[in-house]
Copies of this chain bind each other. A is one copy, B any other.
Amino acid sequence: MENTAVGDQKSQLKLSNFLCFAIYSTANAVTRAYQPRLAALGLTYPQYLVMVVLWEEENQTVKAIGNKLSLDSGTLTPLLKRLETARLITRRRDTFDERQVLIGLTEEGRSMRERAEAVPVAMGQAFGCTMDEAQAMRSELITMRDNLVASIDEAK
Protein backbone atom coordinates (compact mmCIF):
# COMPACT_ATOMS: atom_id res chain seq x y z
CA MET A 1 0.00 0.00 0.00
CA GLU A 2 1.64 3.23 -1.12
CA ASN A 3 -0.32 5.46 1.20
CA THR A 4 0.80 3.54 4.25
CA ALA A 5 4.42 3.75 3.22
CA VAL A 6 4.20 7.48 2.61
CA GLY A 7 2.32 7.95 5.85
CA ASP A 8 4.98 6.05 7.72
CA GLN A 9 7.73 8.11 6.26
CA LYS A 10 6.04 11.39 7.04
CA SER A 11 5.41 10.48 10.65
CA GLN A 12 8.99 9.33 11.00
CA LEU A 13 10.22 12.71 9.84
CA LYS A 14 8.05 14.42 12.41
CA LEU A 15 9.10 11.98 15.09
CA SER A 16 12.77 12.51 14.43
CA ASN A 17 12.12 16.17 15.05
CA PHE A 18 10.19 15.48 18.21
CA LEU A 19 12.78 13.04 19.49
CA CYS A 20 15.49 15.67 19.06
CA PHE A 21 13.33 18.16 20.86
CA ALA A 22 12.53 15.66 23.62
CA ILE A 23 16.26 15.15 24.21
CA TYR A 24 16.93 18.89 24.04
CA SER A 25 14.19 19.95 26.43
CA THR A 26 14.83 17.09 28.84
CA ALA A 27 18.50 18.09 29.00
CA ASN A 28 17.46 21.65 29.84
CA ALA A 29 15.19 20.24 32.57
CA VAL A 30 18.08 18.14 33.93
CA THR A 31 20.21 21.26 34.32
CA ARG A 32 17.38 23.16 35.98
CA ALA A 33 16.63 20.22 38.30
CA TYR A 34 20.25 19.95 39.43
CA GLN A 35 20.54 23.64 40.18
CA PRO A 36 18.68 23.80 43.55
CA ARG A 37 20.38 20.54 44.65
CA LEU A 38 23.84 21.85 43.77
CA ALA A 39 23.26 25.32 45.19
CA ALA A 40 24.51 24.26 48.64
CA LEU A 41 27.79 23.19 47.03
CA GLY A 42 28.04 26.32 44.89
CA LEU A 43 28.41 24.24 41.71
CA THR A 44 26.76 24.33 38.30
CA TYR A 45 25.86 21.02 36.67
CA PRO A 46 28.86 21.01 34.26
CA GLN A 47 31.14 21.92 37.18
CA TYR A 48 29.63 19.04 39.18
CA LEU A 49 30.35 16.67 36.28
CA VAL A 50 34.00 17.73 36.30
CA MET A 51 34.17 17.16 40.06
CA VAL A 52 32.63 13.68 39.65
CA VAL A 53 35.31 12.85 37.07
CA LEU A 54 38.02 14.07 39.45
CA TRP A 55 36.58 12.22 42.44
CA GLU A 56 36.96 9.07 40.35
CA GLU A 57 40.60 9.87 39.56
CA GLU A 58 42.80 12.84 40.38
CA ASN A 59 45.45 14.47 38.22
CA GLN A 60 43.84 14.09 34.83
CA THR A 61 44.68 16.26 31.83
CA VAL A 62 42.19 18.74 30.41
CA LYS A 63 42.09 16.50 27.34
CA ALA A 64 41.20 13.40 29.37
CA ILE A 65 38.41 15.21 31.21
CA GLY A 66 37.17 16.54 27.88
CA ASN A 67 37.05 13.06 26.39
CA LYS A 68 35.03 11.74 29.30
CA LEU A 69 32.53 14.60 29.19
CA SER A 70 32.59 15.21 25.41
CA LEU A 71 33.66 18.81 25.95
CA ASP A 72 36.53 20.70 24.34
CA SER A 73 39.08 22.99 25.94
CA GLY A 74 37.11 26.03 24.79
CA THR A 75 34.44 25.02 27.27
CA LEU A 76 36.65 23.44 29.92
CA THR A 77 39.43 26.02 30.30
CA PRO A 78 37.22 28.82 31.64
CA LEU A 79 35.15 26.34 33.69
CA LEU A 80 38.32 24.91 35.29
CA LYS A 81 39.58 28.41 36.03
CA ARG A 82 36.35 29.07 37.94
CA LEU A 83 36.80 25.86 39.95
CA GLU A 84 40.38 26.93 40.64
CA THR A 85 39.21 30.35 41.81
CA ALA A 86 36.72 28.54 44.09
CA ARG A 87 39.75 26.64 45.50
CA LEU A 88 38.30 23.24 44.59
CA ILE A 89 40.91 22.17 42.03
CA THR A 90 44.56 22.76 41.16
CA ARG A 91 46.06 23.27 37.70
CA ARG A 92 49.71 22.61 36.94
CA ARG A 93 51.71 21.95 33.79
CA ASP A 94 52.86 18.36 33.28
CA THR A 95 56.65 18.34 33.76
CA PHE A 96 57.14 15.60 31.17
CA ASP A 97 54.87 17.15 28.54
CA GLU A 98 54.59 20.88 28.99
CA ARG A 99 51.66 21.03 26.57
CA GLN A 100 49.45 19.28 29.09
CA VAL A 101 47.82 20.70 32.19
CA LEU A 102 47.11 18.31 35.05
CA ILE A 103 43.96 18.95 37.07
CA GLY A 104 44.03 17.88 40.72
CA LEU A 105 41.80 18.36 43.76
CA THR A 106 42.42 20.62 46.72
CA GLU A 107 41.62 19.26 50.17
CA GLU A 108 38.44 21.30 49.98
CA GLY A 109 37.52 19.78 46.63
CA ARG A 110 38.27 16.29 47.90
CA SER A 111 36.19 16.73 51.03
CA MET A 112 33.24 18.04 49.05
CA ARG A 113 32.66 14.52 47.75
CA GLU A 114 30.91 13.43 50.93
CA ARG A 115 28.53 16.39 50.94
CA ALA A 116 27.80 15.71 47.26
CA GLU A 117 26.50 12.19 47.93
CA ALA A 118 23.00 13.51 48.55
CA VAL A 119 22.77 14.93 45.03
CA PRO A 120 22.39 11.71 43.02
CA VAL A 121 20.00 10.36 45.67
CA ALA A 122 17.68 13.32 45.19
CA MET A 123 18.04 13.26 41.42
CA GLY A 124 17.35 9.53 41.24
CA GLN A 125 14.03 10.10 42.98
CA ALA A 126 13.23 13.10 40.78
CA PHE A 127 13.35 10.97 37.64
CA GLY A 128 10.52 8.80 38.87
CA CYS A 129 11.58 5.67 37.01
CA THR A 130 12.97 2.29 37.94
CA MET A 131 16.62 1.33 37.78
CA ASP A 132 15.93 -0.94 34.82
CA GLU A 133 14.19 1.83 32.91
CA ALA A 134 17.05 4.20 33.67
CA GLN A 135 19.64 1.69 32.51
CA ALA A 136 17.75 0.89 29.30
CA MET A 137 17.26 4.58 28.56
CA ARG A 138 20.89 5.37 29.24
CA SER A 139 22.08 2.61 26.94
CA GLU A 140 19.80 3.69 24.07
CA LEU A 141 20.79 7.33 24.47
CA ILE A 142 24.50 6.53 24.31
CA THR A 143 23.93 4.48 21.15
CA MET A 144 22.04 7.37 19.55
CA ARG A 145 24.65 9.86 20.68
CA ASP A 146 27.43 7.82 19.09
CA ASN A 147 25.39 7.47 15.88
CA LEU A 148 24.81 11.22 15.83
CA VAL A 149 28.47 12.00 16.41
CA ALA A 150 29.49 9.58 13.66
CA SER A 151 27.08 11.30 11.26
CA ILE A 152 28.46 14.80 11.84
CA ASP A 153 31.58 14.52 9.68
CA GLU A 154 29.56 13.08 6.79
CA ALA A 155 27.17 16.01 6.91
CA LYS A 156 29.91 18.66 6.60
Residues of B with C-beta under 8 A to A145: 22, 25-26, 29
Q: How many copies does the complex hold?
A: 2
Number of interface residues of A (CB under 8 A): 64
Chain A 123-150 interface 0/1 with B at a Cβ cutoff of 8 Å (1 = within): 1111111010111011011111101110
A52 within 8 A of B: yes
A145 to B11, CA, bound (A): 22
Cα-based distance from A25 to B45 in the complex (angstroms): 12
Contact of A19 with B127 at beta-carbon distance under 8 Å, contacts A29-B70, A137-B140 already known:
yes
Interface residues of A in 15-49 (CB under 8 A from B): 15-37, 45, 49
Give bound CA distance, A23 to B35, whole Å: 16
What's the minimum C-beta distance from A55 to chain B, rounded to whole angstroms? 11
A33 partner, pick from B13, B31, B45, B149, beta carbons under 8 A: B149
The 5 A-B pairs at the shortest CB distance, nearest first, are namely A27-B27, A16-B124, A126-B151, A128-B147, A22-B141
- 29 residue pairs of the A-B complex, CB under 8 angstroms, read A11-B131, A12-B134, A15-B131, A15-B135, A16-B123, A16-B124, A17-B52, A19-B141, A22-B138, A22-B145, A23-B27, A24-B49, A28-B71, A29-B70, A29-B148, A29-B149, A30-B148, A33-B148, A33-B149, A33-B155, A35-B152, A36-B155, A36-B156, A126-B148, A126-B155, A128-B143, A129-B144, A133-B140, A137-B140
